[in-house]
Amino acid sequence: MVKYFLRYGLYVLTGFVPFLSLAADAPSGLTRAQAVQLALENNPQLQAAGRQVDAARARRLQADGFDPPTVFWDVEEADSGGPSRFGSQVYGIEQSVEWFGVRRARKQATDLGIEAATASLERLRLRITAQTQKAFDRVLLADGTVRLLQQLVALTGEAVGISRVRFKSGTGKYVDLLRTRIARQRLRNDLRDAKIAAADARRRLGVLLGNDAGTLTVSGELRYRPLQLDRDAWLAKIDQTGPTFILLKRRAEQADKAYAATRKARLPEITVGLGRQRLYDGANANYAWAGQLGLKFPLPGSDRQRGLEGEALAEARAIQDRGRALRLRAQARLQQRYNEAEALAAQLASYNDAILPDVEDQLKAAQQEYRVRRIDALNLLDVYNTYLDTHRAYLNTLTRYRAVVADLETLGEDLWEVEL
């Protein structure tokens, strides 16, 4: 019996130890990288952009095809009675073919359309990546603000307790008790607002993840990460491989090809047909093969053709002009964003090297001096407010810096809209 219990105990332990190990290793919430992965898999906007690539490929298939053939049957009435009610007959099939070069230009335009749709999809992918990273950091910022306010509520509660004891013992002022109580109530109200903001930040993140639930649990913390991008090399890379710039180039090239195809429409359209002919003279019927060749000439200088060419040319020039304007704005915005990264990095260095340590020391000193009655509640609360404002400013600066880094790493695709 003892051996049985020992074996059973070992079995239970060996069975539960791996489970406990896995539970300890499992993350307590969604990480930033996991959030980005979920957004790329489930975001409806990204899925819709993928459908646009499918539509561009379908347009390429259309450009590679021909108009459907026409089956025809021409008959004549017989002049006299005979073995058939009809006289001469021709039945067969005919196919219209555009002049050489028109179809090729149209295929080239649709090829560029596929590349433009792919660049647009990649642009949206990077944009959603940046938006998800920013939204995730806003959740971390909201959670950090909640924890900071909870800490200040606890510290102010301690000050209320000290002030109450002193007032009841006759060694403290009633005004100090009122000041600390008012400060605690105000901080509690701020804490309620911060919790509402945290819930809203979670809902906004959930929308990007393709989930409208606002009960997401995240893990991680706001940390400073030095910028590892060389400005000139980074800008050169974006100019060559940035999805926005690729999209601008392909749309301009596509508009040029569409204009070339419209100009080639001046040339005739060829119709080729093949059929079987029955000739009937009222007494005898003879059969032979029949061929057909037709040319459909557009009217030279017609209003319709000139209008089509003028519209295609105007559209091509408009796309080029809008592309140049957007390119200039994008390059200026990228330069500005890099400058913001450098400035925010300098501010964070100042916070970490001097401001935050000094604020921590000031807080500890003020707490100690209030306990030994060297300062009153007004001075203590002033130190608390300084501590709260400084840490809030630091968290906001760190969040802004991480947002800038997210924009730089995703080639700035979340900084502008593209309308061509």
Beta strands in 218-361 (DSSP E): 269-280, 285-296
Q: pLDDT-based confidence at 418, cuts 50/70/90?
A: confident
The pLDDT > 90 percentage for the chain reads 54
Tokens 């070339």 found at? 260
Contacts of residues 309-314 at CB distance under 8 Å and 24 or more positions apart, as own/partner, are 309/259, 309/262, 309/263, 312/255, 312/258, 312/259, 312/262, 312/263, 313/259
Find, among 91, 88, 90, the residue nearest to 282 by Cα.
Answer: 88
**What sign has the CA pseudo-torsion 200, 202, 206, 211?**
negative
C-beta of residue 406 within 8 angstroms of C-beta of residue 328? no
C-beta of residue 120 within 8 angstroms of C-beta of residue 110? no
**pLDDT of 5 over the 60 cut:** no
pLDDT digits (tens, 9 = 90+) for 269-315: 888 888 888 877 667 778 888 888 887 777 666 788 888 889 999 99
- Average model confidence (pLDDT) across the chain: 85
- Contacts of residue 263, defined as CB under 8 A and 6 or more positions apart, other chains included, come to 309, 312
Q: How far apart are CA 395 and CA 357, in angstroms?
A: 15
Find, among 261, 268, 263, 267, the residue nearest to 293 by Cα.
Answer: 268
The pLDDT > 70 percentage for the chain reads 88
The CATH architecture one would assign to domain 34-68+109-267+305-409 is Up-down Bundle (1.20)
Q: How many CA atoms lie within 13 A of 404 on its CB side?
A: 25
- Contacts of residue 208, defined as CB under 8 A and 6 or more positions apart, other chains included, come to 39, 43, 128, 131, 132, 135
**pLDDT of 1 over the 60 cut:** no
pLDDT digits (tens, 9 = 90+) for 10-20: 333 333 333 22
Q: How far apart are CA 405 and CA 281, in angstroms?
A: 88
**pLDDT of 202 over the 80 cut:** yes
The residue type found at 247 is L
Helix, strand, coil % in the chain, rounded to nearest 5: 70, 10, 20
Q: How far apart are CA 413 and CA 192, in angstroms?
A: 35
Q: How far apart are CA 165 and CA 174, in angstroms?
A: 11
Whole-prediction pTM value? 0.78
What average pLDDT does this structure show over 165-187? 92
The residue type found at 162 is I
What average pLDDT does this structure show over 170-179? 90
Q: pLDDT-based confidence at 6, cuts 50/70/90?
A: very low
pLDDT of residue 78: 63
Q: How far apart are CA 273 and CA 91, in angstroms?
A: 10
Question: Around Cβ 239, how many Cβ atoms within 10 Å?
Answer: 13
Q: How far apart are CA 259 and CA 251, in angstroms?
A: 12
Q: How far apart are CA 384 and CA 190, in angstroms?
A: 14
